[in-house]
Chains A and B, each alone.
Chain A
Amino acid sequence: MKRSASLSLAAAVAVAVPLAAPAANTIKVGYPMILSGPGALFGEPSLKGAQMYVDEVNAKGGVLGKKIQLIGRDTKGNADEAVRVVRDMILRDDVQFVVGTLTSAEGPAVSPIAKENKIVFIAPITKTDQLTAPENLHPYVFRSASTTTIEGRSAAEIMAKWGVKRVGTMSPDYAYGQDATKAFVEHLKRIKPDVEIVDQQWPKLGEADYTPFINAQMGKKPDAVFSSLWGGHFVTFAKQAVPLGYFKSLNHNFVGAGEAGSIESAKAMGPDYPVGIWSNTYDVFDWPAGPPAHKEYIARLKTYTKQEFPSSWPITGYISMQFLVEGIRKANSTDSDKVAKALLDLTIDTPIGKQTMRAKDHQANRGQFWGQMKMDPKYPFAVMDKLTYIDPAPFMD
């Protein structure tokens, strides 16, 4: 008993040693992100995008004469760990701002920590409406990501033009899937009242065998289907659906939200991609109609990441950091309260055009790229045709 007591004292002293003195001339920004496991496929490039922007700002002398130091930490894709990491960064590394988190569980879990510590928190990827819903909104939480409402409604806008009557849905059975699907169904019924929802399938998140869901849905004979199976879940689903003739039976009238059209998913499926379907992505490396700023951004990204076809995720980190830095610049201060106020109704020029952080719900008018997937002989994977950036401003409320 005696030893143990002195041991724990010794341990307590050991913690005291590595506390570093905060450097006065840097602005520390914590970037909690999934950096290990399957989610790292999206988390790593997002951090890279943020780092690229930070390097660019620092190369020009920083902001308010201060350099930005980005501290990336692994959340392992779980909310518990995200909370832990964020509190650790706030308490020990003295980060002044937090930008990051990926899943719809991590974002809402970190938000109260930001509120308690009065630290501005910008979510670059988390889409769930709950993050900035009126009951959860507080002065320090902001989102530069899209939302489930925006995503569902954008998909409804696309499908409304097809003249289909019988519509089905195929979405994972958890918050993100349910919210996006609900937004889609409600908006579609509003703009096309004659549409009938004939079938809704809810496979569980991470389902390995989609066959029963696919067969059940084909039995209901929908004309078109909306899906929010995201990332690798869409890849698994599509690989099983193609041999069953699922996409053919729909005449390829399928909208896959959840970045099913991102270069990551397209690469994962290669020549097996169900071309002809519609989908979305945060970014494309080739946007022929895009502004020069986007072309320059892609060129810089190619050099920075040394990738010929860069990922579609760095833009999430890039824009979120851009909001933060422009906010600091406008506030002319690194004080969290002042920056939080400066971010309200702040409009910035991003590589994908102007983005505004709305004062009323702390939400950017962040749309996504939508298009019809096709094969292009130039690339070994499917790319987007009829590419459009859908600005959500008209239907965000």
Chain B
Amino acid sequence: MRRIPWTLLVFAAAFAIPWLGSRFYTFIATDVAILALFALSLNLLLGYTGLVSFGHAAYFGIGAYTSAIFMKTLGLPFWLGFPAAGVAAGLFALVFGCFCVRLTKIYFAMLTLAFAQIVWAICFKWNAVTGGEQGMPNVPYPDLDWIGAIPGLDGFRVGDRFYFLTLVLVALAIVALRRIVHSPFGRVLAVIRENPERAEFIGIDVRRYQLAAFAVAGVFAGLAGALFGIFNRGVFPDFAYWTKSAEVLIMTILGGMGHFWGPAVGAAALTILNLQITAYTQYWPLILGTILIVLLFAFPGGLVGTSVDLFRRVRRGRDAGRP
């Protein structure tokens, strides 16, 4: 089988979207890119370590608020606010994770949810810093003039320029995530997912590894949050609300958590479906529920898992026919 560099092709195709000239396509593409990173960060826990987090939006929200406070309240540049968002989200994930990894299964999930609700409540109530219920509208765009100075990229609108920046940052973050899951550290996480008791027996400090995975996932969620806050032109307490956690969980499961790119595909599918359907009806939750039921019963591997299976079966069938 010839090896086609699909990832590069997709990146190139994504990079070309602003040339289509539609602000709407750029808008969707930015949304998808950011949410893909968010979903991929969750999959480090869900698919690779086997930890079900119901509160992943907390770190997304912390990242968004951190960068908004840096850029709007303090007037600092993006290249300080963006890493700070990752650091802050990672630190919070480390602290909350310390408590969460002491529990297992449903208790772990409930505790992540509890911490996320605390984060949400703080964002909702702390008027002086987070703007309370009204959030922080009008987060400034980073300085993007330098992108216009790059030959070939001049003449684009600010939204397109921000998309270029987002795409490159998200791509770098995804490369980093991929290296992490394929590193020895990532392999240990897979061992823990498959059999925590056995991992314990062979001398792996399971809790410490789980905590590390939790913190790393938090960092990437925070980075996604920082980008989303700017893209959304405002940061609101709902970023950390449990529905956001559920949304990213659905994206991951929809795309397929058994596959590295599954959550990214899930993010794209869910975002596009949502946009298309809410334009026609208010009953989006009803449709989403139906899709989920069909998915869980008919395609437990998610979109990617199912299509990979199908692809293999077709190929095996074809190979079987050969002499």
Which chain A residues have a beta carbon within 8 Å of chain B's beta carbons?
1-9, 11-12, 14-16, 18-19, 35-36, 73-74, 78-81, 83-85, 87-88, 91-93, 104-105, 108-109, 111-113, 116, 128, 130, 136, 174-175, 205
Contact = CB atoms under 8 A, between A and B. Distances in A.
A175 B132 contact: yes
Given A8-B265, A112-B233, A3 B311 contact: yes
Contacts of B28: 15
B23 A8 contact: no
Contact of B282 (A36, A111, A112): A36
Contact of A80 (B9, B29, B232, B260): B232
B55 interface: no
A69 B232 CA distance: 26
B10 A111 contact: no
Contacts of B264: 4, 8
23 contacts: A1-B259, A7-B307, A8-B10, A11-B269, A16-B25, A36-B282, A78-B236, A79-B134, A79-B238, A80-B236, A84-B232, A91-B27, A92-B279, A105-B133, A109-B234, A111-B137, A112-B138, A128-B134, A136-B138, A174-B133, A175-B133, A175-B134, A205-B133
Nearest to B4: A2
A92 B238 contact: no
B261 A1 contact: yes
Contacts of B138: 111-112, 136
A4 B259 contact: yes
A19 B24 contact: yes
Given A3-B307, A8-B264, A92-B279, A113 B233 contact: yes
Given A7-B304, A79-B137, A105 B25 contact: no
Contact of A5 (B9, B17, B311): B9
Nearest to A17: B276
A111 B17 CA distance: 27
Contacts of A4: 6, 255, 259, 261-262, 264-265, 303-304, 307
Contacts of B120: none
Contacts, number: 127
B6 A2 contact: yes
Contact of A7 (B22, B134, B265): B265
Contact of A87 (B17, B27, B238, B279): B27
Contacts of A136: 138
Contacts of A19: 22, 24
B106 interface: no
B288 interface: no
Interface of B: 4, 6-7, 9-10, 13, 17, 22-25, 27-29, 127, 132-135, 137-138, 158, 232-234, 236, 238-239, 255, 259-262, 264-265, 268-269, 272, 275-276, 278-279, 282, 303-304, 307-308, 311
A5 B137 contact: no
Nearest to A4: B261
B25 A15 contact: yes
B196 to A, nearest CB: 28
Contact of A105 (B236, B265, B272, B311): B236
Nearest to B262: A4
B6 A18 contact: no
Nearest to A93: B279
B143 to A, nearest CB: 16
Q: Return the 3 tightest CB-CB contacts between A and B, nearest first.
A: A5-B6, A4-B261, A91-B24
Contacts of B261: 1, 4-5
Nearest to A3: B307
Contacts of B278: 73-74, 85, 88
Nearest to A130: B134
B236 A35 contact: no
Contact of A1 (B6, B23, B134): B6
Residue from B132, B268, B272, B307 having most chain A Cβ neighbours under 10 A: B268
A1 B7 contact: yes
Residue from A74, A105, A205 having most chain B Cβ neighbours under 10 A: A105
A130 B304 CA distance: 47
Contacts of A113: 233
Nearest to B157: A116
Nearest to B275: A88
A83 B234 contact: yes
Nearest to A113: B233
B180 to A, nearest CB: 17
B134 A78 contact: no
Contacts of B238: 78-81
Given A2-B4, A9-B10, A79-B134, A18 B236 contact: no
Contacts of A111: 137-138
A328 B275 CA distance: 30
A116 B137 contact: no
A277 to B, nearest CB: 27
Contact of A109 (B236, B269, B303, B304): B236
A231 to B, nearest CB: 15
A41 to B, nearest CB: 15
Given A15-B28, A88-B279, A174-B132, A83 B233 contact: yes
A18 B276 contact: yes
A83 B137 CA distance: 10
